[in-house]
A and B are shown apart, each in its own frame.
Chain A
């Protein structure tokens, strides 16, 4: 799971840089001040501290991330450690109900795993898969969008038609399809090992169209601006122009899409796991937990499915609200 931290580390500088950029964009004559002073003076921060909903969702998101990263230290039990779970503890209700065990605040599931710990570890898997597939989608979508917009002509028409075709399928169907193909092609043990990567690929490939379309649109606008022509007059080649001049100027909307896409990716992962084609039950994600709990819903053990469900809703809602705020805050017309 160190991959999660790696993923965070990979995206964080880009995100921070872009937000910092948005901040410096709006503050004139403050170049000499420190980074922190500039951030506190920026319009982004101004709109942030005036939106209680955003503050709450930021706190919720940060809580999820911190507990996901430090799950080993935060979670009261380790649900993946088979030695520590006992079937004797199976299906215990939450701590405030009769017949409960004070060791398990939110009760246990059918195998005696602590629900709270499983949620924390499950959220970690959900976030990891979500993050990785968003990055995969972003890289694929941004590259194709830049090429499509800048080169134009037949290549553009081809890429955009592929995008149109893909858009006519529901994303979940594409993810299911790829997962199914992977299961058919890969040997069973290999699939077990590669299940996360297959999942990331499946979710990632189903989401690139959004990025490609947005980036293509912005690229079409930016490439006709005079600063791009100035770069061409200097003699700079298309790759460097795309990387140095156009990419930084089309990243604003991409950042917003990525935030909202993260929530969608988490949901998609949960859906796939709920359908039983996602992560295996031995290392459950939030979706797997909800599926496991679903079987016991009608026999009265509601906590197995309800608590992971609430966790999923909270996480996705918080990220979505954050993305909505970012979209409005970065839109100069709504300022």
Chain B
């Protein structure tokens, strides 16, 4: 495409190469990159973490993090070269001709200044307007991005806006000086599904109406397929494929694109296994021939035959104090979980779905005993856990329930070796006679999760996110639990890694006959993995139903609403992967 680029494109990037010099050699973040954006067009840049997506955006607005620098190539904005400008000239372009929308609306607004101050300052910096004119323009902009009562709300501070509203303000900020190009770096990743759809619609409408070009950087295929006109797929610093969205989604030619698209969990149909991306180099599968049924992990643990439910919540309530005071009447409370009741049967995978702040994670932490419920009963195997007074009394139950956390980067102690991390629960629950047996169990566990024994001596930071999540799983399995809680286990992972980890969980679940509580905000993932699903909002459990029933015949209005918002991603599928 390089040959036919003419200089009437809005933005043209030719042969870009960005390097980050370090003492261990230069890291090439982006190389041989050619891109162009037309006015009114949304160019989606998609790729997994570390592919160099954000680096492109930062290079265009001249905000590469030191020591990164662009060593080759040119960037043309309407025919003007904008690379190799000095700082003052860069600042004139930034904001005025190129606007930027960042990922996290919580941190991209100054909390100490009113929205008015921030908007008016930005407008006055770039446009020669009087204070009152600038204010009028700011109100107008807020109105355009869909903020109700803009002339009242403009005087408020960022914390008085919700996450979605804040992102609208950020968009208004980016539009202040009528830029020709907007760079949006993961603009909806921090938002809930329902808000995400609105923001994407808004961005689409603004680009079309104002003839603004946009580079939309994201890892989310669903966002791309609904928003972008054209797509560039990045892999390891290079664009492996570009084309119209339609073309990329339905007829991808590059192997990586094909794998990436088919790894997106299907919202419309339940498959036995997640399609595995073949293009990922460090994909690890469990060694064959490890028969879990005869392995110690699968051995029955003093388990009596269960008759009833394994876990049951009866009117569980959780109330946090948000303002402390000596006088009870002046205290403020937040009810994170309101009288929730449900039961999980042995061997089933129970899903909890809901938006952020709906109380899903709080329930997980109540069951595991991290939080003590302020009301109601939590039964495990017929025993009321809330009535157990001492840690010693609770220990046998702790052993039988384990948890896998969301963030693989903070769920492992960075100062401990992998072997110590996995052996800790073994030693604590005295599940091995001596050190050598513990070591043997630890090696077996590493094999089971597909890491291999050579991982034992390393520290967590030497592993990627997906590998760390495998270590987390190994630690959770070390006590041979019957009940496993997975709190958003893959939401911090790339889609290809997500498929691997979910497959592993699925295999372990069926081979060890584990009971699982699976918490996620991602409906397609829930559909693939859960037997029954509960829908939560604002601390209340609205509906519980078998998965297929819930997806085909939702009862509650909120569930219907959520299902309607679920990305309708109908991309290319590799039939051979969907056995």
CA distance A227 to B401 in the complex (A): 16
Interface mask (B183-195 → A, CB under 8 Å = 1, otherwise 0)? 0000000000000
CB-contact partner of B462 in A28, A225, A249, under 8 A? A28
A234–B398 contact, CB under 8 A?
Answer: yes
Interface mask (B3-46 → A, CB under 8 Å = 1, otherwise 0)? 00000000000000000000100000000000000000000000
**Known contacts A233-B368, A235-B391; A227/B412 CB under 8 A:** yes
Q: Using Cβ atoms and an 8 Å threshold, which residues of chain A touch B412?
A: 227, 230
In chain B, positions 410-425 with a C-beta closer than 8 Å to chain A are 410-416, 424-425
**Known contacts A230-B405, A232-B369; A25/B461 CB under 8 A:** yes
Determine the residue in chain B with the shortest Cβ distance to A227: B413
**Known contacts A28-B461, A31-B462, A230-B475; A249/B406 CB under 8 A:** no
A234–B479 contact, CB under 8 A?
Answer: yes
The number of chain A residues with a CB under 8 A from chain B is 24
Determine the residue in chain A with the shortest Cβ distance to B391: A237
Interface mask (B352-388 → A, CB under 8 Å = 1, otherwise 0)? 0000000000000100111000000000000000000
Determine the residue in chain A with the shortest Cβ distance to B324: A153
CB-contact partner of B428 in A31, A46, A236, under 8 A? A236
Q: Using Cβ atoms and an 8 Å threshold, which residues of chain A touch B425?
A: 234
A24–B459 contact, CB under 8 A?
Answer: yes
A229–B462 contact, CB under 8 A?
Answer: no
Cβ of A178 to closest chain B Cβ, rounded Å = 34
Q: Using Cβ atoms and an 8 Å threshold, which residues of chain B touch A244?
A: 416, 424
**Known contacts A226-B410, A233-B370, A234-B424; A31/B23 CB under 8 A:** no
Cβ of B458 to closest chain A Cβ, rounded Å = 6
B411–A227 contact, CB under 8 A?
Answer: yes
Determine the residue in chain B with the shortest Cβ distance to A47: B23
CA distance A43 to B459 in the complex (A): 17
Determine the residue in chain B with the shortest Cβ distance to A228: B413
Q: How large is the interface on B (under 10, 10 to 19, 20 to 34, 35 or more residues)?
A: 35 or more
**Known contacts A24-B459, A245-B413, A249-B413; A231/B403 CB under 8 A:** no
B292 within 8 A of A: no
Q: Using Cβ atoms and an 8 Å threshold, which residues of chain B touch A233?
A: 368-370, 398, 401-403
Q: Which of A229, A230, A236 has the most chain B CB within a 10 Å cutoff?
A: A230
Q: Using Cβ atoms and an 8 Å threshold, which residues of chain B touch A21?
A: 415
B151 within 8 A of A: no
B290 within 8 A of A: no
Q: Using Cβ atoms and an 8 Å threshold, which residues of chain A touch B414?
A: 25, 227, 249
CB-contact partner of A232 in B370, B415, B459, B472, under 8 A? B370
A248 within 8 A of B: yes
Cβ of A332 to closest chain B Cβ, rounded Å = 11
B293 within 8 A of A: no
Q: Using Cβ atoms and an 8 Å threshold, which residues of chain B touch A229?
A: 365, 370, 403, 405, 411
CA distance A244 to B425 in the complex (A): 13
B429 within 8 A of A: yes
Q: Using Cβ atoms and an 8 Å threshold, which residues of chain A touch B494?
A: none
**Known contacts A226-B405, A226-B406; A235/B411 CB under 8 A:** no
Q: Using Cβ atoms and an 8 Å threshold, which residues of chain B touch A31?
A: 457-459, 462
CA distance A272 to B405 in the complex (A): 53
A248–B415 contact, CB under 8 A?
Answer: yes
Interface mask (A27-44 → B, CB under 8 Å = 1, otherwise 0)? 011010000000000010
B230 within 8 A of A: no
Q: Using Cβ atoms and an 8 Å threshold, which residues of chain A touch B394?
A: 235
Q: Using Cβ atoms and an 8 Å threshold, which residues of chain B touch A226?
A: 405-407, 410-411
Q: Using Cβ atoms and an 8 Å threshold, which residues of chain B touch A28?
A: 461-462
A235–B395 contact, CB under 8 A?
Answer: yes
CB-contact partner of B410 in A24, A46, A227, under 8 A? A227
B399 within 8 A of A: yes
Cβ of A330 to closest chain B Cβ, rounded Å = 14
Determine the residue in chain B with the shortest Cβ distance to A229: B370
B415–A225 contact, CB under 8 A?
Answer: no
CA distance A225 to B415 in the complex (A): 14
CA distance A249 to B401 in the complex (A): 27
Interface mask (A3-39 → B, CB under 8 Å = 1, otherwise 0)? 0000000000000000001001100110100000000
Q: Using Cβ atoms and an 8 Å threshold, which residues of chain A touch B413?
A: 227, 231, 245, 248-249
Determine the residue in chain A with the shortest Cβ distance to B407: A226
Determine the residue in chain B with the shortest Cβ distance to A28: B462
Determine the residue in chain B with the shortest Cβ distance to A154: B324
**Known contacts A21-B415, A232-B370; A46/B461 CB under 8 A:** no
Cβ of A14 to closest chain B Cβ, rounded Å = 13
CA distance A46 to B402 in the complex (A): 42
Cβ of B182 to closest chain A Cβ, rounded Å = 29
Determine the residue in chain B with the shortest Cβ distance to A25: B461
B457–A46 contact, CB under 8 A?
Answer: no
In chain A, positions 227-278 with a C-beta closer than 8 Å to chain B are 227, 229-237, 244-245, 248-249
Q: Using Cβ atoms and an 8 Å threshold, which residues of chain B touch A25?
A: 414, 459, 461
Q: Using Cβ atoms and an 8 Å threshold, which residues of chain A touch B405?
A: 226, 229-230
CA distance A11 to B442 in the complex (A): 33
A234–B415 contact, CB under 8 A?
Answer: no
A230–B411 contact, CB under 8 A?
Answer: yes
Q: Using Cβ atoms and an 8 Å threshold, which residues of chain A touch B391?
A: 235, 237
CA distance A245 to B413 in the complex (A): 7
Q: Using Cβ atoms and an 8 Å threshold, which residues of chain B touch A227?
A: 410-414
CA distance A313 to B148 in the complex (A): 66
Cβ of B519 to closest chain A Cβ, rounded Å = 14
Q: Which of B399, B402, B415, B425 has the most chain A CB within a 10 Å cutoff?
A: B415
Cβ of B500 to closest chain A Cβ, rounded Å = 20
CA distance A227 to B472 in the complex (A): 9
Determine the residue in chain B with the shortest Cβ distance to A225: B410
Q: Using Cβ atoms and an 8 Å threshold, which residues of chain A touch B399?
A: 235
Chain A contacts to B: CB under 8 angstroms: 21, 24-25, 28-29, 31, 43, 46, 225-227, 229-237, 244-245, 248-249
Closest 10 CB pairs of A and B: A235-B398, A226-B411, A226-B405, A248-B415, A225-B410, A234-B425, A227-B413, A233-B368, A233-B403, A226-B410
20 new A-B contacts at CB < 8 Å, known A29-B462, A225-B410, A232-B369:
A31-B458, A31-B462, A43-B23, A225-B411, A226-B405, A226-B407, A226-B410, A227-B411, A227-B414, A229-B403, A230-B411, A231-B424, A233-B369, A233-B402, A234-B425, A234-B428, A235-B428, A244-B424, A249-B413, A249-B414
Chain B contacts to A: CB under 8 angstroms: 23, 365, 368-370, 391, 394-395, 398-399, 401-403, 405-407, 410-416, 424-425, 428-429, 457-459, 461-462, 472, 475, 479
Supply 19 A–B pairs (Cβ within 8 Å), ascending by A. Answer: A31-B459, A31-B462, A43-B23, A46-B23, A227-B414, A229-B365, A229-B411, A230-B403, A231-B413, A232-B368, A232-B370, A233-B370, A234-B428, A235-B391, A236-B428, A237-B391, A245-B413, A248-B416, A249-B413
